[in-house]
Structure 1
Amino acid sequence: MANNNLSMKKFLLSSSSSLSLLSLLLLILITLSFKLSLIDCRNYEHSAAELSLTNQVVIQQRDCYPNETPIFVHTAASTSGKYFNRRQVIRRTWAREAYKYKMRILFVIGVPRDLSIERSLKAEADKNHDILQFNFIEDYYNLTLKAISLLKWSYRHCSNSPYMVKTDDDVVLNMPMLYQLVRQRKIPSGLTGLVMTTPANRENGHKWHMPEHLYPKDSYEFLAGFSYLLSMDKLKKFLKTIITYPGPILDIDDLFLTGIVADYGKIRRNNSFRFKFFCGTDVCTMETSLAMHACPSAKNSEYMYRFWKNADRLSCYRHFRLSRSYRRRRPRRSIDESSSSTSSITTISADQMIANYTDYLIDNHQLIGFKFRQP
Structure 2
Amino acid sequence: MRRRKCYQFIVIVCVLMYVYYFFGVSDYMYTKSFDTEFHYPLDVNIQPLISKVLNNKKPAQPPINVYPYKFLTNSIKCMTLDRLDLFIVVKSAMGNFDNRNGIRQTYGQEKLIMGKIVRILFFVGIDDEVKSPLQKRIDEEMAIFKDIIQMDFHDSYYNNTIKTMMSFRWLFDHCSNAANYLFTDDDMYVSVRNLLKYVDYEAPENRIVMHGSKRDRDSVMLHHEGQKIIFAGYVFNSSPQRFRSSKWHVSLEEYPWNKWPPYVTAGAFVVSNRVMKIMYAGSLFVKHFRFDDIYLGILAKKIGLEPTHCSKFYFYKKKYSVEGYRDVIASHGYDDSQELYRVWSEQYSL
SS in 1 for 2:294: helix
The alpha-carbon distance between structure 1 residues 207 and 59, as it changes in their structure 2 partners (threshold 3 A), is same
Aligned to 1:335: none
1:182 CA drift (Å): 4.4
1:181 CA drift (Å): 3.8
For 1:50 and 1:96, locate their aligned partners in 2 and report how far apart those are by CA, in whole Å: 33
Aligned to 1:320: none
Q: Give the structure with the larger helix fraction.
A: 1
For 2:94 and 2:311, locate their aligned partners in 1 and report how far apart those are by CA, in whole Å: 31
**1:236 corresponds to 2:277:** yes
1:171–1:292 CA contact under 8 A, matched in 2: yes
The alpha-carbon distance between structure 1 residues 185 and 62, as it changes in their structure 2 partners (threshold 3 A), is farther
1:279–1:304 CA contact under 8 A, matched in 2: no
**1:102 corresponds to 2:140:** no
How large is the Cα RMSD of the aligned pairs? 2.2
Aligned to 1:59: 73
SS in 1 for 2:108: helix
Aligned to 1:206: 246
2:65–2:283 CA contact under 8 A, matched in 1: no
Give the counterpart letter for 1:198 in structure 2.
S
1:286–1:292 CA contact under 8 A, matched in 2: no
**Offset from partner CA, 1:180-237 (integer Å, 9 cap, x none):** 3445595631311111112210111311111112111122221011100111112232
Aligned to 2:187: 170
**Offset from partner CA, 1:240-283 (integer Å, 9 cap, x none):** 221112xx4111011111x1111011123111101013343311
**Offset from partner CA, 1:300-359 (integer Å, 9 cap, x none):** 22222234345xx4xxxxxxxxxxxxxxxxxxxxxxxxxxxxxxxxxxxxxxxxxxxxxx
Aligned to 2:171: 154
The alpha-carbon distance between structure 1 residues 102 and 185, as it changes in their structure 2 partners (threshold 3 A), is farther
**1:293 corresponds to 2:332:** yes
**Offset from partner CA, 1:57-84 (integer Å, 9 cap, x none):** 1011114123322100011112xxxx11
2:232–2:309 CA contact under 8 A, matched in 1: yes
Aligned to 1:23: none
For 2:129 and 2:319, locate their aligned partners in 1 and report how far apart those are by CA, in whole Å: 35
1:178 CA drift (Å): 2.1
SS in 1 for 2:151: strand
1:50–1:136 CA contact under 8 A, matched in 2: no
**1:249 corresponds to 2:266:** no
Percent identical residues? 22
Aligned to 1:261: 299
Give the counterpart letter for 2:107 in structure 1.
W
1:59–1:132 CA contact under 8 A, matched in 2: yes
Aligned to 1:124: 141
For 1:238 and 1:176, locate their aligned partners in 2 and report how far apart those are by CA, in whole Å: 25
Normalised by the length of structure 2, the TM-score is 0.68
Aligned to 1:87: 100
SS in 2 for 1:201: coil
For 1:286 and 1:217, locate their aligned partners in 2 and report how far apart those are by CA, in whole Å: 38
For 1:279 and 1:296, locate their aligned partners in 2 and report how far apart those are by CA, in whole Å: 14
Give the counterpart letter for 2:119 in structure 1.
R
For 1:280 and 1:186, locate their aligned partners in 2 and report how far apart those are by CA, in whole Å: 24
Find 1:275's aligned residue among 306, 310, 313.
Answer: 313
SS in 1 for 2:243: coil
Normalised by the length of structure 1, the TM-score is 0.63
Give the counterpart letter for 1:176 in structure 2.
R
For 1:76 and 1:141, locate their aligned partners in 2 and report how far apart those are by CA, in whole Å: 12
For 1:182 and 1:129, locate their aligned partners in 2 and report how far apart those are by CA, in whole Å: 28
SS in 2 for 1:89: helix
**Offset from partner CA, 1:15-51 (integer Å, 9 cap, x none):** xxxxxxxxxxxxxxxxxxxxxxxxxxxxxxxxx7982
2:187–2:332 CA contact under 8 A, matched in 1: yes
Structure 2 unaligned segments of length 5 or more: list them: 1-63, 206-228
For 1:299 and 1:50, locate their aligned partners in 2 and report how far apart those are by CA, in whole Å: 39
For 2:182 and 2:77, locate their aligned partners in 1 and report how far apart those are by CA, in whole Å: 16
**Offset from partner CA, 1:136-190 (integer Å, 9 cap, x none):** 1111111000000110110111111111110011111111122334455956313
Return the index of the structure with the highest Cα Rg. Answer: 1
Structure 1 unaligned segments of length 5 or more: list them: 1-47, 314-375
For 1:239 and 1:50, locate their aligned partners in 2 and report how far apart those are by CA, in whole Å: 11
Give the counterpart letter for 1:145 in structure 2.
I
For 2:233 and 2:143, locate their aligned partners in 1 and report how far apart those are by CA, in whole Å: 32
SS in 2 for 1:225: strand
1:162–1:182 CA contact under 8 A, matched in 2: no
Give the counterpart letter for 1:229 in structure 2.
V
Task: Between the two structures, name the one with larger relative contact order (CA 8 Å, sep ≥ 6).
Answer: 2
The number of residue pairs the alignment matches comes to 255
Give the counterpart letter for 2:254 in structure 1.
L
Give the counterpart letter for 1:86 in structure 2.
N
The alpha-carbon distance between structure 1 residues 50 and 151, as it changes in their structure 2 partners (threshold 3 A), is closer
The alpha-carbon distance between structure 1 residues 266 and 98, as it changes in their structure 2 partners (threshold 3 A), is farther
Give the counterpart letter for 2:71 in structure 1.
V
SS in 2 for 1:284: coil
1:294 CA drift (Å): 3.5
